[in-house]
Structure 1
Amino acid sequence: MFFDSWTGLLRVLVVGTLAYAALVLLLRVTGKRTLSKMNAFDLVVTVALGSTLATVLLSKDVALAEGLLAFALLVLLQFAITWLSVRSDRVRRLVKAEPCLLLHDGRFLDGAMRRERVTRDEVRAAARAQGIASLDDVAAAVLETDGSFSVIRREGSASSRILP
């Protein structure tokens, strides 16, 4: 249960080091976009790469060459989808969400908030995180494609009230 053999430990050291080095090299060659959290597809690829690395490290049934091929396949698919999404509106709409306006001129857009499953408290928290104390001082709050909030302060506003 705690220890099987020195051979197993040596395998994890050797295969783990080689798989890690190969993954880092592959990610450096393919560019920053491979691990970006821009949309759901990017997140899936990132999780799949981590899962593949763990499998290669811990499963004696998966050879290093198979793991490296899996890394290359995932990164190649990611590259192909991002390449196509830059060149095709149809592919871009398929794999990427659009930003969504949640609050405009201090007023919540309830329909959009329901569709995006966002609460008023989350929007208020995003405003506070930007140092905005009153929603009256917010021109817009947007749910971005990566799930983060952008809060745009109304021009000439000076927050004086604290949000509940």
Structure 2
Amino acid sequence: MDELLRFSLSPLELLVRGTAMYWFLLCIFRFVLRRDFGTAGVPDLLFVVLLGDAAQNGMIGEGHTLLDSAFLIAVLAAWNYALDFLAYHVPFVSRLTDPPALLLAKDGRLVHRNLRKEHITPDEVESALRSEGLDGLARVRRMYLEPDGKFTVLKRR
């Protein structure tokens, strides 16, 4: 029980590690990641997951130096930036990192193959239509599932 209630590192070292990693990560998020997390793609989400693991080693220690973790995070940030840059300039890379919008409804009818592909129920479609102020598919020209997970509805005139 004594081992559970003791510091394995000095509180001052934990304070310095935690503070340094907080400010380093804040700078990474501010200057590398996109401003709106609603537009985060798969590479951005992967970056955030890996970032958490890399930062944990820097804050807790476990035989890794703060510089090791900061360097690893910088490498991950560089890859994230490089993929965003390439996706903007090279259409092939964009298709790999960001899925295209998926057609869910066309001319008032559901595209069931695409609903099954994404495991979207007709109830979820109806809910999205209600949030757009529509009470059914009759006024829908096209409905898409966007790469960020949001629904877009194009109404009939």
TM-score of the superposition, structure 2-length normalised?
0.85
Per-residue deviation at 1:36? 6.3
Mapped to 1, the partners of 2:77 and 2:113 lie a distance apart of 37
Mapped to 2, the partners of 1:37 and 1:53 lie a distance apart of 23
Per-residue deviation at 1:6? 7.9
1:74-119 deviations in Å (ceiling 9; x for gaps):
1100111111111112211122200011011221011222222222
The residue identity in structure 1 corresponding to 2:112 is D
- The answer to whether the 8 Å contact 2:33/2:44 transfers is no
Match among 76, 88, 92 for residue 90 of structure 1:
92
TM-score of the superposition, structure 1-length normalised?
0.82
- The answer to whether the 8 Å contact 2:142/2:155 transfers is yes
The residue identity in structure 2 corresponding to 1:123 is V
Tell me the secondary structure at the aligned position of residue 47 of structure 2. helix
Say how many residue pairs are matched.
155
Mapped to 2, the partners of 1:22 and 1:14 lie a distance apart of 12
Matches within 5 A, 1:149-160: 149-155=151-157
Q: Name the counterpart of 2:119.
A: 117
- The answer to whether the 8 Å contact 1:34/1:79 transfers is no
- The answer to whether the 8 Å contact 2:21/2:70 transfers is yes
* Same amino acid, percent of matched pairs: 29
Structure 1 stretches of at least 4 aligned residues deviating more than 6 Å after TM superposition: none
Q: Name the counterpart of 1:160.
A: none
Matches within 5 A, 1:38-117: 38-117=40-119
Mapped to 2, the partners of 1:82 and 1:150 lie a distance apart of 23
1:38-94 deviations in Å (ceiling 9; x for gaps):
321221112212232233222432211011111111110011111111111221112
Change in CA separation of 1:34 and 1:14 when aligned onto 2, cut-off 3 Å: farther
Q: Please tell me the root mean square deviation across aligned C-alpha atoms, in Å.
A: 2.3
Q: Name the counterpart of 1:16.
A: 18
Tell me the secondary structure at the aligned position of residue 103 of structure 2. strand
Tell me the secondary structure at the aligned position of residue 90 of structure 1. helix
Tell me the secondary structure at the aligned position of residue 140 of structure 1. strand
